[in-house]
């Protein structure tokens, strides 16, 4: 049975000391050199086998010879057949050792992000080239993109044996940021009634364009959903978001909440769409810390996490961002939960939930002590998150959604990005979601047997599917954390420190959009926590 | 170059396979001797035996032994070279699952390298009839 695995690369985060980095690089070069020695030895043994075969052939003449009469001539030979076979075997053995050393060198390089700068440079160059093409010749760029996508679909579908258009995302993943950026320049050009010029500010105009489009779509959205946001605390009849003491556990809780509220899994909680979780942790010194778990777009007709809200919270305008229904819903949930201004807060979100987390961190920095933001599959590169807030972003290279910011994430000490790449693999662990709803990626044996080159995606479809699902981000994080990267470890440790201690309470808040204020239909344990408001009043 | 079909005699081709062979100069000199059949060898030359009455097969066998010996030396050097990354791999500040696997497999590489070196030695022994 076939499944999928994810290989991660790491960029940004706490840098290594120069001496340490040089030591890793030096060892990687040494491994490459020794691997080259073994490959050369392999080639030499292979050539030796051929030469010995030539020697053997030439000796055929000799062994068949009849010495001249009266002349005593001695002959000598070797067991050429055995020799040639042994030389061939040695060639294979040497090649195997060379390959193994190459693999180990690649593992060392990836674990310590030794090629990070080069990879970033190439990616930047490609993005700039595509952007320029999209500005100068949009028709040809669109045509080329269509052709590349179509070729990817045809090739992938042929390999899979059935039509699968997701391969179009994979084949164009290298161009997605540049295309988004190019399209944004055109949108901004229309907005300003001027020729499109490349905007070289931080957002390359993508956030500008998102704000412009949101201003257009907001009235439509309000007409459809209404602009009254009701945020109510709701009771869960089963545990969905459990106690967490690590990023991996928090990601798993995020997936549980996301899938439970959509009905993909049934934990019996009765939670529905538009729900977020707020947890209070009590540190050993008695102080409180908070973890906010925010799932992504649910697309429901009266949910603050509908599709068009994504545009608002990607805007370059902080007022527009915070009037986004999903952002103000989470802000209201945080207010109702009673989070203190100085109490450490960590936010974890998937897709739109990650954008909301970045928005809260950027725009409510004066109200809360936002210490860490975890995003999975969220385009947040353009959000002005304070440098004191740690950001850990997980993105899949062909999920498209994470590329909608049109830019790579900032690569700073406090901003770490884990980028996953999915490939097909044999399945070695069970893919089903277990009875407690857990769906942690792979397992220890699976990871070790793969040499940590990739992490199996548990529960992945046999066919190619969109990698925006959280299980792919979970696998990406697992692979990255297995690498023992200093940067990943530092972010993991920072996240853990915030939620250190014991879980004191978990509250769930549901947001509902309407045209007029709703009577509360959801019972909460404390009616004071039920709130209805128009955020912009 | 186009060759126009013609019945006109042309300059004979020079068939010097020894010059084009992968053997070094010493080997070429071996093949420069004639075949045992007393006819022109494909390697060139015109005489079957050396002037001392020994067959050229001795030279070929020597060349084979030298060839294997050179490869064994090369393998030994590669095997010794693996020791440096192994010791440095143990010393670098790297912890975690991948680091454990890295060190274990690097150690296994060193063990495999010694085994390959040993196997190479047995090939050399085979050359000398041991």
Task: Tell me the three state secondary structure of residue B12.
Answer: coil
Residues 6 or more apart whose Cβ sits within 8 Å of residue A472: A4, A6, A396, A399, A420, A422, A457, A460
Tell me the shortest Cα–Cα distance from B69 to chain A, in angstroms: 10
**Average pLDDT value over all residues in chain B:** 72
Q: Is-contact A27 A111, C-beta < 8 A?
A: no
Query: When comparing pLDDT for A429 and A287, which is higher?
Result: A287
**Residue whose token pair is 């479809």:** A461
- Chain B residue numbers touching A447 (CB-CB < 8 A): 97
Of A474, A498, A49, A135, give the one whose Cα is nearest residue A292: A498
Say yes or no for a CB contact (<8 Å) between B55 and A27: no
d(C-alpha A412, C-alpha A390), whole Å: 10
- Chain A residue numbers touching B41 (CB-CB < 8 A): 61
pLDDT tier for residue A458 given thresholds of 50, 70 and 90: confident
Q: CA A327, A332, A337: angle at the middle one, nearest 5?
A: 130
DSSP string, A295-317: ------TT-TTSSTHHHHHT-S-
Q: Which pLDDT score, from 0 to 100, does residue A57 have? A: 87
* Chain B residue with the nearest C-alpha to that of A489: B96
CB atoms within 10 A of CB A459: 21
Q: Which pLDDT score, from 0 to 100, does residue B59 have? A: 87
pLDDT tier for residue B130 given thresholds of 50, 70 and 90: low
Tell me the shortest Cα–Cα distance from B47 to chain A, in angstroms: 12
The arithmetic mean of pLDDT across residues A348-365, rounded, is 98
The arithmetic mean of pLDDT across residues A514-528, rounded, is 59
Say yes or no for a CB contact (<8 Å) between A90 and B75: yes
Of A381, A320, A388, A318, give the one whose Cα is nearest residue A354: A381
- Chain B residue numbers touching A95 (CB-CB < 8 A): none
d(C-alpha A94, C-alpha B129), whole Å: 24
pTM: 0.84
User: With an 8 Å Cβ cutoff, is A24 touching chain B?
Assistant: yes
The arithmetic mean of pLDDT across residues A418-441, rounded, is 68
Q: Which pLDDT score, from 0 to 100, does residue A529 have? A: 36
pLDDT digits (tens, 9 = 90+) for A278-316: 999 999 999 999 999 999 999 999 999 999 999 999 999
For the cut 50, the answer to whether the pLDDT of residue A415 exceeds it is yes
Gyration radius of chain B over CA positions: 25
Tell me the shortest Cα–Cα distance from A10 to chain B, in angstroms: 14
- Chain A residue numbers touching B43 (CB-CB < 8 A): 58
Note the residue count of chain B: 130
pLDDT tier for residue B125 given thresholds of 50, 70 and 90: very high
Say yes or no for a CB contact (<8 Å) between A73 and B67: no
Among the residue ranges A46-50, A126-130, A201-205, A414-418, the one predicted with the least confidence is A201-205
Instruction: Choose from A41, A109, A448, A483 for mutation: most chain B CBs within 10 A.
Output: A41
- Chain B residue numbers touching A40 (CB-CB < 8 A): 74, 78
For the cut 90, the answer to whether the pLDDT of residue B16 exceeds it is no
- Chain B residue numbers touching A107 (CB-CB < 8 A): 98, 101-102
Q: Which pLDDT score, from 0 to 100, does residue A197 have? A: 53
Q: Where are the domains of chain B?
A: 16-47, 67-130
User: With an 8 Å Cβ cutoff, is A20 touching chain B?
Assistant: yes
* Chain A residue with the nearest C-alpha to that of B96: A484
Of A357, A353, A400, give the one whose Cα is nearest residue A255: A353
Tell me the shortest Cα–Cα distance from B18 to chain A, in angstroms: 12
User: How many contacts does A have with B, using Cβ atoms within 8 A?
Assistant: 186
Q: What percent of chain B has pLDDT over 90?
A: 49
Q: What's CA A414's distance to the chain center, in Å?
A: 17
For the cut 70, the answer to whether the pLDDT of residue A386 exceeds it is yes
**Average pLDDT value over all residues in chain A:** 89
- Chain A residue numbers touching B97 (CB-CB < 8 A): 444, 447-448, 452, 482-484
Q: Where are the domains of chain A?
A: 227-533
For the cut 60, the answer to whether the pLDDT of residue A3 exceeds it is yes
Among the residue ranges A245-249, A430-434, B76-80, the one predicted with the least confidence is A430-434
- Chain A residue numbers touching B96 (CB-CB < 8 A): 481-484, 489
Query: When comparing pLDDT for B49 and A500, which is higher?
Result: A500
- The ipTM, to two decimals, is 0.86
pLDDT digits (tens, 9 = 90+) for A9-39: 999 999 999 999 999 999 999 999 999 999 9
**Residue whose token pair is 């060379």:** A98
User: With an 8 Å Cβ cutoff, is A453 touching chain B?
Assistant: no
User: With an 8 Å Cβ cutoff, is A86 touching chain B?
Assistant: yes
């Amino acid at each position: 049975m076939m499944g999928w695995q994810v290989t991660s690369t790491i960029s940004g985060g706490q840098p290594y000391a120069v001496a340490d980095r040089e030591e890793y690089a030096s060892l990687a070069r040494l491994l490459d050199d020794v691997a080259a020695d073994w490959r050369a030895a392999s080639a030499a043994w292979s050539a030796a086998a051929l030469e010995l075969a030539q020697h053997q052939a030439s000796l055929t003449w000799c062994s068949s010879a009849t010495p001249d009469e009266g002349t005593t001539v001695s002959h000598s030979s070797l067991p050429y057949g055995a020799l040639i076979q042994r030389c061939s075997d040695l060639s294979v053995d040497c090649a195997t050792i060379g390959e193994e050393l190459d693999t180990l060198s690649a593992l060392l390089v990836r674990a310590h992000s030794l090629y990070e700068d080069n990879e970033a440079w190439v990616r930047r160059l490609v993005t700039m080239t595509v952007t320029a093409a999209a500005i100068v010749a949009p028709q040809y760029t669109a045509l080329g993109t269509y052709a590349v996508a179509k070729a990817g679909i045809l090739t992938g579908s042929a390999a899979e044996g059935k039509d699968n258009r997701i391969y179009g995302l994979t084949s164009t993943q290298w161009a997605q940021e540049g295309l988004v950026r190019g399209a944004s320049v055109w949108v901004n050009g229309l907005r300003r009634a001027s020729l499109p010029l490349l905007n070289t500010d931080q957002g390359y105009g993508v956030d500008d364009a998102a704000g412009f489009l949101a201003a257009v779509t907001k009235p439509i959205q309000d007409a459809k959903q209404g602009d009254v946001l009701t945020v109510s605390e709701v009771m869960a009849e089963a545990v969905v978001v459990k106690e967490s003491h690590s990023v991996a556990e928090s990601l798993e809780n995020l997936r549980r909440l996301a899938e439970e509220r959509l009905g993909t899994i049934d934990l019996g909680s009765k939670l529905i769409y538009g729900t977020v979780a707020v947890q209070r942790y009590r540190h050993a010194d008695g102080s409180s810390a908070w973890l906010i778990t925010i799932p992504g777009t649910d697309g429901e007709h009266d949910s603050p996490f509908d599709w068009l809200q994504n545009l608002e919270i990607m805007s370059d305008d902080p007022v527009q961002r915070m009037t986004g229904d999903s952002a103000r819903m989470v802000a209201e949930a945080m207010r109702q939960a009673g989070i203190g201004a100085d109490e450490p807060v960590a936010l974890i979100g998937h897709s739109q939930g990650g954008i909301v987390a970045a928005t809260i961190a950027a725009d409510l920095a004066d109200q809360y002590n936002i210490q860490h933001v975890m995003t999975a599959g969220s385009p947040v590169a353009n959000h002005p998150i304070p440098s004191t807030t740690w950001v850990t972003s997980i993105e899949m290279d062909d999920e498209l959604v994470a590329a909608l910011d049109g830019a790579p994430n900032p690569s700073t000490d406090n901003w770490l990005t884990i980028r996953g790449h999915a490939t097909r693999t044999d399945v070695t662990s069970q893919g089903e979601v277990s009875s407690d709803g857990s769906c942690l990626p792979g397992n220890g044996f699976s990871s070790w047997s793969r040499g940590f080159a990739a992490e199996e995606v548990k529960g992945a479809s046999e066919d190619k599917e969109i990698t925006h699902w959280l299980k792919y981000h979970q696998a990406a994080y697992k692979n990255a954390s297995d690498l023992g990267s200093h940067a990943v470890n530092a972010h993991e440790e920072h996240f853990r420190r915030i939620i250190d201690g014991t879980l004191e309470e978990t509250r769930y808040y549901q947001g509902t959009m309407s045209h007029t204020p709703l009577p509360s239909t959801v019972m909460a344990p404390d009616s004071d926590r039920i709130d209805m408001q128009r955020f912009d009043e | 170059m186009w060759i126009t079909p013609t019945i006109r005699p042309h300059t004979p081709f020079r068939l010097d396979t020894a010059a084009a062979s992968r053997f070094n100069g010493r080997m070429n000199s071996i093949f420069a001797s004639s075949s045992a059949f007393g006819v022109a060898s494909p390697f060139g030359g015109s005489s079957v035996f050396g002037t001392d009455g020994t067959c050229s097969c001795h030279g070929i066998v020597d060349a084979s032994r030298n060839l294997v010996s050179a490869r064994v030396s090369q393998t030994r050097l590669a095997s010794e070279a693996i020791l440096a990354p192994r010791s440095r791999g143990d010393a670098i500040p790297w912890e975690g699952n991948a680091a454990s696997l890295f060190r274990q497999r690097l150690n296994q590489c060193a063990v495999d390298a010694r085994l390959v070196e040993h196997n190479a030695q047995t090939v050399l022994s085979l050359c000398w009839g041991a």
